Structure 1
Amino acid sequence: MNLIGAIWSALGLLAVASLFANPSPVYGAATQYYSPNSDNITRGSLISRSALGEEQHLPLVDSDVLITITGQIARVQVSQHFENPTDEWIEGLYLFPLPHDAAVDTMRMDIGGRIIEGQIQEKQQALETYKTAKKEGKRAALVEQDRPNLFNTSLANIPPHGNIIVNIEYQQSVQWDGGVFRLRYPMSITPRYKPEEPAKYLLESKADVSSGWTILPDERPQAVAYEEDGGTVESKTTLEVSLSPGFQVGQVQSLFHGVIENASSDGTILLSLDGGAVRSDRDFVLEWTPAATSIPTASFFSESADQGDYGLLTLLPPTLKDWGNMTREVIFVIDVSGSMKGEPLRAAKASLTSGIEGLGRNDTFNVVAFNNKAAAFYDAPVRASGKFHRAALKVIDGLKAGGGTEMAAAFELALQMPGDPDRLQQVVFITDGAVSNEAALFNQIKGELGARRLFTVGIGSAPNTFFMEEAARFGRGTYTYIGDTSSAERVMRDLFTKISFPALTNIEVRGEGVEDITPGTIPDLYAGEPLSIAMKLRQGNKAITVQGRLGDTEWKRTVTLSPAGNQSGIRVDWARKRIADWQRAGYLGLDKDRVRSEVLSLALTHHLVSRYTSFVAVDVTPVRPSGIPFHKSIVSPTTPHGIAINLAQTSTGFAATLIVGLLMAMMGTIALLWRRPSYRGQS
């Protein structure tokens, strides 16, 4: 009995200790599954579990999306429909993704057809405006930016069984690469991992979240919950696209969603999702290519506005295809953390295998795998042939997902690995980018990169594209996206073809009749990548001169600009890119007050949501009677497609686990005390 009592005590104390050692969901932890009572689930609600383990009905957020593409600018309208299925007044909190280069410049609150325009204010001022309205029983909406690609809507005083619509508008530049034009609309969020810190933040974070993997640990309470097939009703999205690129289109394709295509009388291509509303669990990606006779090599669009005249110039530099290939030294890094479990890891392993298979016999390589820790297959890069090649592929085949995403250790190992400076040194980093410490990693990449180039490969249905693209920029490389295993081989082949040619480096841009050119520092450009720059236009003649080095060849081009001023969105595009420039400077150590001042001025002038500004809309008429309480409801985003999410044990609720643990310890103590006399008698 002493042994039994000791075991019960130990298990109880371990259960209690686990709350403090690991209270927040952690990838790879022991799991148990929560299956909600399907008889209690009604359409228009999500189910979560509170800190005490109680079921909660949450408001559902469905979205309608309209994307209008004109030239190189996309204008996007998003309508978020909040529905309160309960008998109580609630406040809805909804974390949602947008493209990392989205310039959010419009917000409206729709209450039964009555429109209330959102106002841009400094972030703290907007929050106070919202809190005051909430306290006074007024309906109010607040839209804030947490990351360049993550936003949060707070909606106060949604009445019982009521509906409120929040309309958001933003614009972004169309991506152009390798002759293909591309637009991404993110629909889901992969939970972010936060590097280990003292237990205090973990305990406080867990106390505020519903069951699942926390999206932004220690910042927002939203979590992606485990959803059993046929269980909860997920958020849905309808989406329509109007495509007018300004040239004859050869082919249009949606990579991951079925679409219905039609054409209007003016040649505009109209697309809509096949089947109407779809589950919001993977990004929508649209690609289109010009007809063979319409392939562009340059474009210029301009806009005249009250704030001034603005331009957007895009040039396609030449490619030296007859350049002799250098032997390469490639360090592959593969993420095997818990967020990669399922389809993401399968796609990552296929990508890594394809990358190694694509190396030449005289190339060298190494592989670094990481989760909580990072480890290299070999002490230094080895020949990409023979026994090293076969052994690496065998190890890759056996990789499993689990643990945290301690990415800094992987970067340190890959970027500081001994290498051969006479080779073309490249790092190919394969991950979903599910981290929350982006700024620290950008600093690390900049400081440790040396002569190497970093190429990021985004994996999964909802990768952190902000981190992936910015990391590649700081690493003087480029970003590639792989949505599923079937495309891994083709995408990796295209990537290695692109980076086998010399990049256009040391790029300088000078202008006549222009100012405030952005980006301030032009990244290296690889084969098929265009140079895109935005600018303010002055009076008089206007011209841009671009020069750089292409292998051992100097390249220079001068373009005379003739602005027509009739393309809307160029001003906002310029402002958003200027804000991104200041944010990058902040990542590298520029004085925070200077960064805040510059970003705040741009955001207020051009009516944009930013790190320091938010949209707030308030209905002047109070609707919640005085003395009637409201409840805060956290809307769980839909689980990304293909990700195998299991809940950590602590997801059943902090208090529930604490009580169970203490009861187990008490049972063990009683058992020990009951047997103690006979124990003493034997001594």
Structure 2
Amino acid sequence: MTQTLEQQPSGLYLQNSNQQIAFPLKHTEVKAKIAGNISRVEVTQSFENPFTTSLEAVYIFPLPDEAAVDDMLIRIGDRTIQGSIKKRQEAVAIYEQARKQGHTAGLLEQERDNIFTQSLANIKPGEQIDVIIRYSDSLKFEGGNYEFVFPMVVGPRYIPGITIAEDAVGGGSAIAPMTLNQDTDLVSDASRLNAPILPSGMRSSHDINVTIEINAGVEIQDINSPSHQIQIIREEQLVNVKLGGGDTIPNKDLILRYQVSNNKIQTTTLTQADERGGHFALYLIPALEYRPEEIVAKDMVFLIDSSGSQSGEPLMQCQELMRRFINGLNPDDTFNIIDFSDTTQQLSPVPLSNTSQNRSLAINYINRLNAGGGTEMLGGIRTVLNLKTTNPGRLRNIVLLTDGYIGNENQILAEVKQRLQPGTRLHSFGAGSSVNRFLLNRIAELGRGIARIIRHDEPVDEVVEKFFRQINNPVLANIQLQWEGDGESPIMYPSTPPDLFAEQPLVLFGRKSDAHSGKLHISGIAAGGRRYQYSFHLNFPQTGNPAIAQLWGRSRIKDLMNQMVSGDTKGGVEAVTDTALAYQLLSQYTAFVAVSDEIRVNPNQDFISVQVPVEIPEAISHEGIFGNAVAAAPSGAMVNQPMVRRSREAKKQSAPPPMSAPAPAKPMPRFEEMESLAMEHDIPASEPEIGFADVDEFSNLERFSLFSEQLMPQLEEMNLDDQLEDLKALQREESSIPHLQIVSFTGLDQQMIYLLTQYLQAIQLPRGFGGDLVFEFQVNQGRVKQLMLDDEASSLKEQTVIELIRRSLLAWLPSQTFTSTVLLTLRIQA
């Protein structure tokens, strides 16, 4: 039996009233080296076991959303164990087996582009183990300013949808800090996104130190950080930056900005070659001017997040941004305001002209906004994307203001990708200390707009002025890329270059498999209709920065993932996995695992599993996130989560019997209506018998047809006109309802197929669609996981139907003892 915390000696855990919170993560050390546009970062996480039994520590943490994570190792004393990249399912199996056998093991997984999970098993009592993670990243560069960002904490994500399972990490002897951790049909991995958050006023023992070495090759100027106190040490053209001694709490993004004295650095080409081919990174800022008098009238729509996580300083910053936006509009512009939390509201049903009276109306609307409720962003996004255009001559610009604290990012991105009109631009503004940069950056990319992230305490005047200066007229549009030279053309990302705004660079990553040199011609249409062209000479010497290849691989993975925002496809998952393995990169389908050679703890003894608690991001309100009532929260609200868990074996022994998922609500089956009619008039009739062998060929519609054939003649003989007409009407209605049928399967036995068939029959499908859908997924520990659509083998392409069935399959709860890889073909007959 696992020991309780009361039996442990003093150490890195805290007794707080009735709460006991363990702190196995002692320290994080970050060392970054910046050369030109590229950073190479090493993150060392030091874990220590304060208990008298072995420990498993699980830590949810952020990294930059475009970081190419290509190395992980664990250090035990003077020994180093190198991690290896595997397919994620394989890596998890290796880790679990090593943990059960008593080996010390580390597992690094990616949940989102900017959320990662580090698991470290079998830490001996009193022992310290370091986990070292390395990644490469491309610095943001705009208007002569470089920006280096290191995120330190994952903000609490709001989880929409219907809960589909009990807490996947429940049980244990300690009360957790507050978090939301229940999986839903919209966010099936919600339990892996939110770390336990410390109660208000409580500090963990975890601290962080960051050292940044900058070698730009030229003089570096105006080094500053809006987020942290920093120390600057100069050695000729080399600059070292460290955190100030009093700013080591990991509760906000580190932002470091600086300028370089040589503006030629704005156009840069970096190359690298190896056995995989020649790789290049290209940074170009066109030297183009535009005339303010060429400004086109705009229709500005502001979409502001007023949910609970925005409470306090974040909402006040967004309100100040909005006031500046309204007062910065051009005379011929029109505007509207939409705000969302649990519900969506708007200032006006139609765009308002830019008059003093309308501006006053808008400012009053902005000033009355209050933060509260959940972040139901989808409602706001759908509302703003469905707004009708009243004047086609105006360029519509949508500006989203949010912290991005949601778990259903892909659902939002899919909506933008499917519904954004070609002439509309969608921009994103994040205000806060640790916003969801992944969501904000991807929304702007798909929206062909600009992403801006500022802290809650930064001045907004310059930011708003620069934003309007940029969007008033894109300086380069319709960008085309053409290769001149021997061999095949390079594969470049982004595959469709975006329009460029003033002072914004074009950043491309390319790979030429034969590594032959050549020229890359970049052309586009500049302001006023003028044609612009620039050419790069590319050579691929064997020397070069190896990070360039990794960044190309990361860019390819991002492009492939953008194509799967509506859901995983078999071809897309395979392409991401192959790229990640070829370039040794972490992804959502690969993971790093490291295992000690020797058995280090007794595998037959109990162990304690601890999920590392984290600080709430700076300036985020506990009350805004959790409200006053934390326990017994409804679906989609924050709930308590046990932070110290029993061993997994103990959990399994005490788990309740497996149950299948409750079927979605539906009207009373028509069969039951007919059965009631037969009983009312004493007409003998019975439901056709169905066996397991043919259950996949039977449906509610067929049951209705057989029963109605049996009942109809007897009703006609009795001349029950009203009932007869009702039955005929029901028959016509039922015949138009789509019929969902399992036509083939592997990996499920007859009983599981029977249960799945009954479950799927409850789905209310929209009319007018038919075809086959082929899914592949894993069944493990009572859940459907790694669900992929085989888009090539599927004939039905309607996303609404696919999403409905995908969500239903993810919500299905098979037996917890059943484990299998399943291939399932469904047929929908209109």
In the superposition, the TM-score normalised over structure 1's length comes to: 0.85
Give 1:365's aligned residue.
Answer: 335
1:494 positional shift: 1.5
Deviations 1:371-400 (A, max 9, x none): 011111111110222222112212212211
User: 2: distance between equivalents of 1:393 and 1:374?
Assistant: 18
Return closer, same or farther for 1:226/1:346 CA change in 2, 3 Å cut-off: farther
Q: Name which of 589, 610, 615 aligns with 1:633.
A: 610
Give 1:212's aligned residue.
Answer: 178
User: 1: distance between equivalents of 2:134 and 2:13?
Assistant: 26
Contact kept? 2:396, 2:424, Cα under 8 Å: yes
User: 2: distance between equivalents of 1:523 and 1:533?
Assistant: 11
Return closer, same or farther for 1:437/1:462 CA change in 2, 3 Å cut-off: same
1:288 positional shift: 1.4
Deviations 1:78-122 (A, max 9, x none): 000112222232211100000010111111101112100001111
User: 2: distance between equivalents of 1:114 and 1:105?
Assistant: 20
Secondary structure of 1:141's counterpart equals strand
Secondary structure of 1:78's counterpart equals strand
Return closer, same or farther for 1:414/1:222 CA change in 2, 3 Å cut-off: closer
Give 1:548's aligned residue.
Answer: 524
Work out whether 1:304 is the aligned partner of 2:269. no
Give 2:68's aligned residue.
Answer: 103
Give 1:241's aligned residue.
Answer: 212
Contact kept? 1:195, 1:406, Cα under 8 Å: yes
Q: Name which of 499, 503, 506 aligns with 2:471.
A: 499
Deviations 1:353-375 (A, max 9, x none): 11111112332111111101111
1:70 positional shift: 0.9
User: 2: distance between equivalents of 1:149 and 1:215?
Assistant: 18
Contact kept? 2:198, 2:613, Cα under 8 Å: no
User: 2: distance between equivalents of 1:200 and 1:443?
Assistant: 22
User: 1: distance between equivalents of 2:128 and 2:603?
Assistant: 21
Return closer, same or farther for 1:570/1:650 CA change in 2, 3 Å cut-off: same
1:41 positional shift: 12
Superposition map of 1:380-399 within 5 A: 380-399=350-369
Deviations 1:15-47 (A, max 9, x none): xxxxxxxxxxxxxxxxxxxxxxxxx99773367
Deviations 1:225-271 (A, max 9, x none): 24333x33252110000101233323221221111111225x21111
Worse-matched range after superposition: 446-455 or 312-321: 312-321
Work out whether 1:431 is the aligned partner of 2:402. yes
1:349 positional shift: 1.1
User: 1: distance between equivalents of 2:383 and 2:95?
Assistant: 46
Secondary structure of 1:487's counterpart equals coil
RMSD over aligned Cα atoms? 2.5
Give 1:643's aligned residue.
Answer: 620
1:627 positional shift: 2.5
1:443 positional shift: 1.4
Contact kept? 1:41, 1:232, Cα under 8 Å: no
Give 1:480's aligned residue.
Answer: 452
Superposition map of 1:265-304 within 5 A: 265=236, 267-275=237-245, 278-291=248-261, 293-304=262-273
Q: Name which of 144, 149, 161 aligns with 2:114.
A: 149
Contact kept? 1:343, 1:484, Cα under 8 Å: yes
Residue type of the partner of 1:212? M
Superposition map of 1:3-22 within 5 A: none
Q: Name which of 66, 87, 97 aligns with 2:52.
A: 87
Work out whether 1:331 is the aligned partner of 2:301. yes
Contact kept? 2:167, 2:181, Cα under 8 Å: no
Contact kept? 1:177, 1:529, Cα under 8 Å: yes
Residue type of the partner of 1:549? I
Secondary structure of 1:252's counterpart equals strand
1:546 positional shift: 0.9
Deviations 1:301-334 (A, max 9, x none): 1112233321111111243421511122110111
Return closer, same or farther for 1:204/1:215 CA change in 2, 3 Å cut-off: closer
Q: Name which of 576, 579, 590 aligns with 2:557.
A: 579
User: 2: distance between equivalents of 1:216 and 1:355?
Assistant: 38
Give 1:175's aligned residue.
Answer: 140
Secondary structure of 1:351's counterpart equals helix
Superposition map of 1:423-462 within 5 A: 423-450=394-421, 451-462=423-434
Work out whether 1:528 is the aligned partner of 2:503. yes
Secondary structure of 2:359's counterpart equals helix
User: 1: distance between equivalents of 2:221 and 2:9?
Assistant: 47
Return closer, same or farther for 1:542/1:104 CA change in 2, 3 Å cut-off: same
User: 2: distance between equivalents of 1:413 and 1:362?
Assistant: 24
User: 2: distance between equivalents of 1:42 and 1:487?
Assistant: 45
Contact kept? 2:180, 2:191, Cα under 8 Å: no
Residue type of the partner of 2:12? G
User: 2: distance between equivalents of 1:270 and 1:260?
Assistant: 8
Residue type of the partner of 1:255? P
Return closer, same or farther for 1:64/1:277 CA change in 2, 3 Å cut-off: farther
**Identical amino acids, percent of aligned pairs:** 28
In the superposition, the TM-score normalised over structure 2's length comes to: 0.70
Q: Name which of 306, 323, 345 aligns with 1:375.
A: 345
Query: Any unmatched runs of 5+ in structure 2?
Result: 1-7, 184-189, 634-638, 641-830
Return closer, same or farther for 1:424/1:102 CA change in 2, 3 Å cut-off: same
Secondary structure of 1:278's counterpart equals coil
Work out whether 1:622 is the aligned partner of 2:599. yes
Q: Which has the higher contact order (CA 8 A, sep 6+)?
A: 1
User: 2: distance between equivalents of 1:319 and 1:212?
Assistant: 51
Worse-matched range after superposition: 429-438 or 499-508: 499-508
Secondary structure of 1:195's counterpart equals coil
Deviations 1:621-648 (A, max 9, x none): 1122243100111112221000011345
Return closer, same or farther for 1:213/1:354 CA change in 2, 3 Å cut-off: farther
Return closer, same or farther for 1:137/1:522 CA change in 2, 3 Å cut-off: same
Secondary structure of 1:296's counterpart equals helix
Give 2:547's aligned residue.
Answer: 569
Contact kept? 1:195, 1:437, Cα under 8 Å: yes
Residue type of the partner of 2:178? G
Return closer, same or farther for 1:180/1:650 CA change in 2, 3 Å cut-off: same
Residue type of the partner of 2:265? P
Give 1:662's aligned residue.
Answer: none
Contact kept? 2:222, 2:258, Cα under 8 Å: yes
The count of residues paired between Structure 1 and Structure 2 equals 610
Q: Name which of 13, 21, 30 aligns with 1:45.
A: 13
Return closer, same or farther for 1:55/1:250 CA change in 2, 3 Å cut-off: closer
Residue type of the partner of 2:359? H
1:174 positional shift: 1.0
Residue type of the partner of 1:124? Q
Query: Any unmatched runs of 5+ in structure 1?
Result: 1-39, 658-683
Q: Name which of 370, 373, 381 aligns with 1:400.
A: 370
Deviations 1:424-462 (A, max 9, x none): 210010001111111111111122211210000011111
Work out whether 1:130 is the aligned partner of 2:108. no
Residue type of the partner of 1:194? I
Contact kept? 1:221, 1:634, Cα under 8 Å: no
Contact kept? 1:46, 1:234, Cα under 8 Å: no
Contact kept? 1:210, 1:222, Cα under 8 Å: no
User: 1: distance between equivalents of 2:169 and 2:413?
Assistant: 25
1:48 positional shift: 8.5
Give 1:22's aligned residue.
Answer: none
Give 1:667's aligned residue.
Answer: none
User: 2: distance between equivalents of 1:328 and 1:573?
Assistant: 36
Work out whether 1:68 is the aligned partner of 2:33. yes
Secondary structure of 2:191's counterpart equals coil
